[in-house]
Amino acid sequence: SSFSSIIGMDFGNDQKDSYDYELYKILITSNQVSDFLSEDKNFMTMIFSSEWDKKNKVWKKKELTFFSKIKNFIKSILGLPLYVQGEPSSMRLNKFLSNNISLYSPEKSKTSMLTISMLTSNPDLGRLVLEKVHEVSNQILRKRSSIRTREYISFLNSQLSKTTQHDQKLGLISSLSSQLQKQMNESSNLPFASEKFGKVVVSQNPVSPNSKFILISSAIIGFFLSIIVLMIRSQVLKVN
């Protein structure tokens, strides 16, 4: 066995790629991605466009409604904490991404294909968001892996200078070669953990709300309500 296996440093590419891919799926709607994107003011003003004052280039101060004031008054009497929505933040962006982005991966598929979708009334915004979360997730994983690779290379070089046994030196050289190859891949502009296939596709037909379902549901509810009203009316007439 090689020296890298002896010290517990197995650099199997297949296992590593699978691990990075699983992390990629988690990162899509993670706090790390939200933290990164929240630093982009142009992106934030597009997500929370209703709260952005284009003329004065500032976030609008949200005025409390009459109902909100009553609710806060009751909470203050009961000693409950008051929630005041501030300016758009990383936390609010994370909530937006978590509520609107969904991931789908076929269970019985032999490939690692992943479909990332988003429900929105603004196709351009949806396209931008999906492109951004994909790009940033890859970027975070690339940086994370690059730091680890540098640490591994530094460790292997230090061990190589200390080792005198021929077999151990061969093992270290093999592991070092693998890490240098990995470092080269991390330095390229190629996709890291996940590669996008084609462009973001926008549905040609509205997917929500389901007009047929609403129409049928309304008809059924209306039918049963009319029966209930007629039954109540007939009972009232009998009593009179």
Band (pLDDT 50/70/90 cuts) for residue 16 is: low
For residue 36, pLDDT over 90 is answered with yes
Whole-number percent of the chain with pLDDT over 90: 19
Amino acid residing at 32: Q
Q: Is 152:9 a contact under the CB 8 Å cutoff?
A: yes
pLDDT of residue 213: 67
Band (pLDDT 50/70/90 cuts) for residue 42 is: very high
The answer, yes or no, to whether the previous bond of 209 is cis (omega within 30 of 0) is yes
pTM of the model: 0.68
Kindly report the average pLDDT of the chain as a whole number: 80
- d(CA 173, CA 97) in angstroms, rounded, equals 44
Tokens representing residue 142 in the block: 């690339």
Amino acid residing at 27: L
Q: Is 115:134 a contact under the CB 8 Å cutoff?
A: no
Beta bridge partners of 52: 59
DSSP code string of the chain? --HHHHTT----HHHHHHHHHHHHHHHTTSHHHHHHHHT-HHHHHHHTGGGEETTTTEEPPPPPPHHHHHHHHHHHHHTPPP----S--HHHHHHHHHHHEEEE--TT-SS---EEEE--S-HHHHHHHHHHHHHHHHHHHHHHHHHHHHHHHHHHHHHHHH---HHHHHHHHHHHHHHHHHHHHHHSSS-SS----SPPPPPSS--SS-HHHHHHHHHHHHHHHHHHHHHHHHHHHHH-
Q: Is 60:11 a contact under the CB 8 Å cutoff?
A: no
pLDDT of residue 30: 93
Tens digit of each residue's pLDDT (9 = 90 or more) over 143-179: 888 898 889 899 888 888 888 888 888 888 888 888 8
